[in-house]
Structure 1
Amino acid sequence: MSNGRYDVFTAETPQDIQSAQALRALAFGLKTPFDCDAFDTHQRHVLVRERGGGRLVCCFRIGVFEGPGIMDSYAAQYYGLARLAGFEGKMMELGRFCVHPDAADPDIVRIAWAELTRFVDSQGIRLLFGCTSFKGTDPRAFLGTFALLAQDHLAPRAWHPTEAADEVVRFADLASDGLGRKDALQHMPPLLRTYLLMGGWVSDHAVVDRHMNTLHVFTGLEIDAIPDNRKRLLRGLV
């Protein structure tokens, strides 16, 4: 896929994957040159590259699961997903989504979402899920945002992820910092805002990930719940 300035493609070589791992390390602020884990070997890597200079400006990886197969996902390391194992239909895990820190063009994210939309439609995906990261491991920086999530965006009981990680931050244990809704949204990762605008939901706790230096929340989005007008907008990008 191309929009004139950027090309989107699936990694086909070890070098492609290594380029994505290098961008991830840079975007997440890691002290190592590459961000690697065992899930890289059996998930699809999608890359967005500038057509002119060839710079990699965005990447993410996806895995498709059905039923109990979700227990093999990256997120299952940190969250109890037994309830989602009963979800009927294909589920797609979106992980390690990142944009180059020096790339500010909104078309980068647009074309990435266009590729995601194309894949969701072609594969008959019914649920998107993943771990949405907040930079840093101090929950005090996000009290207003976590309060907003707890108030308006918790997962339906039928799919509620339970605690499975060693170190978690329970939203119910936090006091709000008094931030209004607008300010709370501004402190929220852009990817999570996009999910929530489409009807997404989150876990009732964040996981403290010391390796990635992040707090992350399980995030889900049922395709059938996306408003029709937003579906038309997404499909119009393809």
Structure 2
Amino acid sequence: MTLLSGTSQGIIDGTIMSGLEAQKPILPANDEAVVLGRIGALEVRLATSQDEVEAAQELRYRVFYDEMGAHAHSMAAAERRDADRFDAVCDHLLVYDTALTCPQHRQIVGTYRLMRSDQAAKHGGFYSADEYDVHQLALSRPNLRLLELGRSCVQAEYRSKRTVELLWQGAWAYCRRHAIDVMFGCASFHGTIPAAHALGLSFLYNNCRATPDWDVRALPHRYQTMDLMPREAINNKAALFSMPPMIKGYLRLGAMIGDGAVVDEAFGTTDVFIILPIERISSRYISYYGADANRFV
């Protein structure tokens, strides 16, 4: 998720599965529109219908596959929807352009998928456990409420600071509503050759690694080293400039980086693990976003 910078490349995480393999989403029990933020004609709220979830899956397909070049499963290509089994148990945070004169589910211009630890415990774990030892994080923090964020994307013409700020407003209001203690997920560099991102990965390794009490390691068979350059060769300014907007946004908020990168061949990305305890979020950002988000808690 790009929290503060200008554009979003659209990917935090992903797998390829047919929409036919996904169950119907479990939608909020209260079927009224759950508004979590508003800026002008744009609103962010939770999906409350199957049509809205499917429209979000269609947006994800256009961004991930048509635009970013991910490799689609044959059934996903036929349906033109990015869907997997986690869609059925997650909450779907959606940005709507209410100025558009079309059915509500066709007003969706941005999406984020949210999965709480209580949802994961009932339905087979977290999505990112395919790449990282998230299970160990959950075991070591049994009393904390965890929130996995993923499948972030924004329609091309809406990739502005305003849209991503609205996504963050919604995510923050959601965290407040559910008393979340820590957010996490995968963020991506485009391309499957870690050495091509040696500067950025080495900067993260040397400057942003998680403290031992929060560390999460890539699974052994997927582990790629991030320590690709000597510390003295790293130009910090150049490294930050080259960083994907999502990762820069998380770092500004106080996020830490897990141990090891993972290559996702299907999505054509090199992933890193983001860990953001709520207690680490800078008070100035809580003040900046929280004033608006708190109205929707």
TM-score > 0.5, shorter chain as reference: yes
Cα separation, 2, equivalents of 1:45 and 1:237:
20
The answer to whether the Cα contact below 8 Å between 1:69 and 1:85 also exists between their aligned partners in 2 is no
Deviation, 1:6, is 0.6
Asked if residue 6 in structure 1 is aligned to residue 34 in structure 2, the reply is: no
The equivalent position to 1:58 in structure 2, one of 110, 118, 121, is 110
Q: What corresponds to 1:169 in structure 2?
A: 224
**How many angstroms does 1:50 deviate by?**
1.2
The corresponding residue for 1:191 is 246
TM-score of the pair, normalised by structure 1: 0.90
Query: When the two structures are aligned, how many residues end up with a matched partner?
Result: 236
* 1:39 maps onto 2:86 in alignment: yes
AA at the equivalent of 1:232: S
Q: Following TM superposition, by how much is the alpha carbon of 1:106 offset from its aligned partner in structure 2, in angstroms?
A: 1.4
Amino acid aligned to 1:175: M
When the two chains are superposed, the root-mean-square deviation of aligned CA atoms in Å is: 2.2
Question: Take 1:47 and 1:212, find their aligned partners in 2: how far apart are those partners?
Answer: 22
TM-score using structure 2 length: 0.73
1:204 aligns with 2:259: yes
Which letter does structure 1 place at the counterpart of 2:117? F
- Name the counterpart of 1:15: 51
Structure 2 portions without partners, runs of 5+: 1-34, 101-105
Give the conservation status (yes or no) of the 8 Å contact 1:144–1:176: no
Q: Give the deviation of 1:235 after TM superposition.
A: 0.3
Which structure has more relative contact order (CA 8 Å, sep 6+)? It is: 2
Native 8 Å contact 1:135 1:215 kept in 2: yes
Local SS of the residue matching 2:286: helix
Q: Deviations over 1:67-97 (max 9, x none)?
A: x949701111211131442223101111111
Against the structure 1 CA distance between its residues 111 and 39, is the aligned structure 2 distance closer, same or farther, given a 3 Å change threshold?
Answer: same
User: How far off is 1:179 after superposition?
Assistant: 5.5
Where in structure 2 are the equivalents of 1:81-100 lying within 5 Å?
81=134, 82-87=136-141, 88-100=143-155
Question: Following TM superposition, where does structure 1 have runs of at least 4 consecutive aligned residues deviating by more than 6 angstroms?
Answer: none
| Offset from partner CA, 1:108-133 (integer Å, 9 cap, x none) | 01111111111111211110001112
Who is 2:273 aligned against?
218
In 2: Cα distance, 1:113 partner to 1:130 partner: 14
SS of 1:47's equivalent in the other structure is strand
Higher strand share: 1
CA-to-partner distance for each residue in 1:3-38, whole Å, 9 max, x for gaps? 222122211222211111121122222353221111
Verify the 8 A CA contact 2:202 2:234 in the aligned structure 1.
Answer: no
Note if contact 1:47-1:56 (Cα within 8 Å) is conserved in structure 2: yes
Q: Is the 8 A contact 2:43 2:95 kept in 1?
A: yes
